[in-house]
Amino acid sequence: MSDLSYSDKTILENAFNMHTGYVLNFSDNTFSDFFATFGININDKKYCEEGTSKANRLRTFWNIEDNTTVGKVLVELANKMMADNLSQSSGVKAVWMTTAGKNFFDQQRILIQQVEKIGSKLLDNKNTSKAEYKIQTSTYCNELKIKIRDEIYTHIKRYLDNEDYFHAIEEAYKIVRCKLKEITTKERASEVFNLNAENRKYYQKLFGEDASIDSPKYDFFRGVGYLHLAVQFLRNEKAHMLAHDLDKNLALHYLSLASLSYDLISQNDNPEQKIPVS
């Protein structure tokens, strides 16, 4: 079984247009011929257990084969996409000169790079298991353990289990925004705190008290506002891009930001855990 993550598979599904049941512009014959170059009979019944369409056979292939085999196939599929893209762009110069045409080919180029990256990652990981990776990282002395809010963790656990950090972060930020809306009726931090985090209108609801300007409490509450503004804008950035792989350590930093932001507006739920601010 390959180590493709959920986000890897999402990218590949989109890149190969697999929602149609097809894979790129392959016919049944050319699809078989392509895999034959790797010594693989893609028509074998073991690849047809989830269905006989080209898309289903490819899904089964990457689910049951090892990293090296799947990685080699993905890299070659990326090369095929590049060749098709070059052929298509050279044959439609009038379309290429339009903004829409350029955007299409630019997007195709990004997808090709993502497919190649995923294939290369599998080839690089051909001799490294997930268990070994955990052993290696556990030797670092500058690691810290933090507890993510249960409300967030239970919602994103399925993404973390699949190493789909992109969607784990996106969903964690949604939870934070939902909590903000639950308390204030508004989910956008810019509406609750304003863009300079100076709005005190919702302090009573969020923190159980108001704070005078220039007081330590006001500075603290304003800092919480900036955290939520960061969540808003970081989520907006991810909502407008294709899903892609994220470094695990970077993802944990993003998730800790979500957990902290949630925690600091939820302390009225449990006054005993409230952070004292003089």
Rg (CA), the chain: 24
Same domain, 199 and 269: yes
User: How many angstroms separate the CA atoms of 104 and 148, rounded?
Assistant: 40
Q: What is the pLDDT of residue 104?
A: 58
Residue-averaged pLDDT of the chain: 83
By residue count, the chain amounts to 278
Domain annotation covers residue 39: yes
Same domain, 179 and 228: yes
Output the six-digit token pair for 249: 């350590």
Phi, psi of 55 (to 5 degrees): -65, -45
Q: Is the pLDDT of residue 161 over 90?
A: no
Same domain, 253 and 165: yes
Same domain, 114 and 163: no
Domain annotation covers residue 1: no
> Residue 54: which of 23, 13, 76 has the closest Cα?
23
Output the six-digit token pair for 18: 């697999």
Domain annotation covers residue 154: yes
Q: Is the pLDDT of residue 225 over 80?
A: yes
Range from 58-67, 119-128, 153-162, 225-234 carrying the lowest mean pLDDT: 119-128
Q: Is the pLDDT of residue 118 over 50?
A: yes
What percent of the chain shows pLDDT beyond 70? 81
* Collapsed DSSP state (helix, strand, coil) of residue 49: coil
User: How many angstroms separate the CA atoms of 278 and 217, rounded?
Assistant: 7
User: How many angstroms separate the CA atoms of 224 and 246, rounded?
Assistant: 26
Output the six-digit token pair for 155: 């919602």
Q: Is the pLDDT of residue 47 over 80?
A: yes
On whether the CB atoms of residues 150 and 258 are closer than 8 A, the answer is no
Domain annotation covers residue 213: yes
**Could you tell me the residue range of the domain that residue 165 belongs to?**
150-273
Q: What is the DSSP letter of 276?
A: P
Q: Which residue has the higher pLDDT, 33 or 100?
A: 33
Residues with Cβ within 8 Å of residue 117, at least 6 apart in sequence: 245
Same domain, 121 and 212: no
Domain annotation covers residue 141: no
Domain annotation covers residue 139: no
On whether the CB atoms of residues 84 and 52 are closer than 8 A, the answer is no
Same domain, 100 and 156: no
On whether the CB atoms of residues 249 and 255 are closer than 8 A, the answer is no
Q: How confident is the model at residue 94 (pLDDT cuts 50, 70, 90)?
A: very low
Q: How many domains does the chain have?
A: 2
Residue that is last in its domain, among 63, 95, 127? 127
Q: What is the pLDDT of residue 88?
A: 60
Domain annotation covers residue 248: yes
Domain annotation covers residue 140: no
Same domain, 257 and 189: yes
SS3 content of the chain, % helix, strand, coil (to 5): 65, 0, 35
Same domain, 155 and 123: no
On whether the CB atoms of residues 235 and 177 are closer than 8 A, the answer is yes
User: How many angstroms separate the CA atoms of 109 and 103, rounded?
Assistant: 10
Q: What is the pLDDT of residue 89?
A: 54
Residues with Cβ within 8 Å of residue 49, at least 6 apart in sequence: 60
